[in-house]
Structures are given as structure tokens and as C-alpha cells.
Amino acid sequence: MNKPITIDNIKRKTLYIEILNSVYQIIYEVTFISDARNFVLRDEDGNEHGVFTGKQPRQAALKAANRGEGTKSKPEIIRLRERGTKKVHVFKAWKHLVEAPKNRPDWMPEKISKPFVKKEKIEIIE
């Protein structure tokens, strides 16, 4: 069953407010920022480098995994701290080379990397 469309379900929210006056009509457009969150990549020593954006930690982890060198037999550990919090999301990450889709554009190679992640735990920084 489909969810009804409300202003909360719309990805980019635009609210139109009309104010009627006897001389002219003014229309204001208010655009709200999407719900994207920033996640900072951390190494084992706690040094932070690289920011990945996503609505969920998994989305940011997939972006980070695509840059890594992990394989399914030897996955990388990815630690992502959400900006503004003390939560660190820990993932095992790897990628496979797979065939590109048949309707791929000309610039896309025949084999592309497909990232995979598995959430291990959430750590809290003191």
C-alpha cells in the first residue's frame, strides 16, 4: 500500500505562502534543507579524515567502502562518526567487481565496483 503524499514525505520541501493585498499579490518560496547527515571517517588512532554524506550511516559507509580496498575474505573496518554526536558507527566493508548494466553510458567501464557493508556495532566516544 502506498503512503499518502504529505509535505514530510517530499525529498526537497518547498512551501508556497500567498499573501493577498488590495494592490498586489506577493508569493514567498521557502525551501527547507534536506535531511542529509555528515559522517567523518576515523582511523584506529582516532584521527579524522574525509567526510561522507548520507541520510543513514549505511549510505555514507557504502560511499566510503567504494574507495577502500577490502575484499569479502578480508574486509576493511570503517568507522564513521556522525557530526554533532559522539556516536561512531563501525562497519565491515568490501567491494566486488561486477558487470556494468547493459544500458550503461559510453564513459562507464565494462566492470564497476559494487560496495557491500555490514554493521558491526555503535561505539560512544567519551
Q: Which of 25, 50, 28, 29 is nearest to 40 (CA)?
A: 50
All structural domains of the chain: 37-124 (3.10.470)
Q: How confident is the model at residue 30 (pLDDT cuts 50, 70, 90)?
A: very low
pLDDT of residue 24: 44
Strands in the chain per DSSP E? 14-20, 25-31, 37-42, 48-54, 76-82, 87-99, 111-124
Q: Is the full-model pTM beyond 0.85?
A: no
pLDDT at position 33 over 50? no
Are residues 70 and 62 in contact, defined by beta-carbon separation less than 8 angstroms?
A: no
